[in-house]
A and B are shown apart, each in its own frame.
Chain A
Amino acid sequence: MEKRIMRRTAADNAYRHPDFHGALSNGIEYLDRTYGPEAVREYLWQFSSAFYAPLKKKIAERGLDALREYLEDLYGSEGGRIHVRATDDELRVEVESSPDVMHMRNTGYHVARLFREVTSTVNEAICAGTPFRAELLEYDEQTGRSVQRFTRRDA
């Protein structure tokens, strides 16, 4: 048999590997089983507080408009459809189905028992220290369909 050789540079492909959602789900499941549900929330809070620090700064400076832009990019970049209603004091986001959950359902990856925390805890951590708070009003475990609301704390 002939030798096979494949040479690629970063410019040859777009960086998008949706199987990573399955790896994250495994991490959530592992934390839940090994250390308990609070470990899932603690980890996601720590990660989000650190990683989304630049986004938190934008929200503090520009308000919910910065969060709306972020969420539209986030879901749009992975083919998710969302519906947004926004005022200066409230942002309501309806996600038809979440690309992470749908990818895992379609490819057979296990969806962690507490995978909803990847939406609820992450949103809460993003808003912590800003004038806004996050609520996950609805969440469907099968599809990731959700209703997310962000409101001004003193509104």
Chain B
Amino acid sequence: MIACTDFIPAYSELFKYLHARGGEDAVLDFWNYLSDNFLGNLKELVERNGILGCWLYWSHTLNEEAADFTMELDEDAGVFRIDMHKCPSMTRLLETRHMEPYPDYCGHCDVLYRRVLERLGYSCETDLSRCKEARCNMVVIDRRRSS
């Protein structure tokens, strides 16, 4: 068994393995597969609750992951935002001194969530410019409210 607390290094190594086999396209193909096959709970929550579903989904995952974050929801404006002050996954990778993280490790967050949310009528923008500091943010906007 691989401990769930050791999953992040396992995930990073999977990206490296796929990259070695087929380059960035092979990694992207897997991220798309994972989005379609693993994020059914996010999709169902947003389909059922609208943008509140984002709040419900990340309330669960970010607390279980012991993240350092601020999360905001403005249902009237149709805007959901996460400011990740210290990402537990990237922090874990940076602290694992005997292994190098996959260089675009954080890219999976953008691909996985955007793929689900854009199909449901939301825009999803992530700023990964500070991901090597384990910081990032994501803004989800209900396009029907903003138009």
Interface residues, chain A, CB within 8 Å of chain B? 1, 3-10, 12-24, 26-27, 30-31, 34-35, 39, 42-43, 46-47, 50-51, 53-54, 74-75, 77-78, 80, 98-100, 110, 118-119, 122, 144
Contacts of B68 in A (CB 8 A): 8-10
Known contacts A19-B64, A23-B7, A43-B13; decide if A8 and B1 are in contact (CB<8 Å): no
Chain A min CB distance to B30 (Å)? 6
Is B1 in contact with A46, judged by CB distance below 8 angstroms? Answer: no
For residue A142, give the distance in angstroms from its CB to the closest CB of chain B. 15
Interface pair B65/A54, CB less than 8 Å apart: no
User: Is the CB–CB distance between B70 and A27 below 8 Å?
Assistant: no
How extensive is the interface on chain B, given as a class?
Answer: 35 or more
Q: Tell me the nearest residue of chain A to B4, going by C-beta.
A: A20
Are A27 and B14 interface neighbours, CB within 8 A? yes
Q: Which residue of B lies closest to A122 (CB)?
A: B2
Of B4, B38, B59, B61, the contact of A26 (CB 8 Å cutoff): B38
- Kindly identify, within residues 1 to 46 of chain B, every residue whose CB is under 8 Å from any CB belonging to chain A: 1-11, 13-14, 17, 21, 29-30, 33-34, 37-38
Known A16-B4, A18-B64, A78-B1; further 7 A-B contacts with Cβ < 8 A? A15-B64, A16-B5, A20-B8, A20-B11, A30-B34, A42-B17, A50-B13
Does B6 lie within 8 Å of A51, measured CB to CB? yes
| Contact residues in A for B48 (Cβ distance below 8 Å) | none
On chain B, the residues within 8 Å of A19 by CB distance are 4, 61, 64
A24 to B34, CA, bound (A): 10
Instruction: Say yes or no: A100 contacts B37, CB within 8 Å.
Output: no
Question: Considering the chains assembled together, what is the distance between the CA atoms of A118 and B17 in angstroms?
Answer: 16
How far is the CB of A66 from the nearest CB of chain B, in Å?
A: 16
Q: Which of B47-75 contact A (CB under 8 A)?
A: 55, 59, 61-75
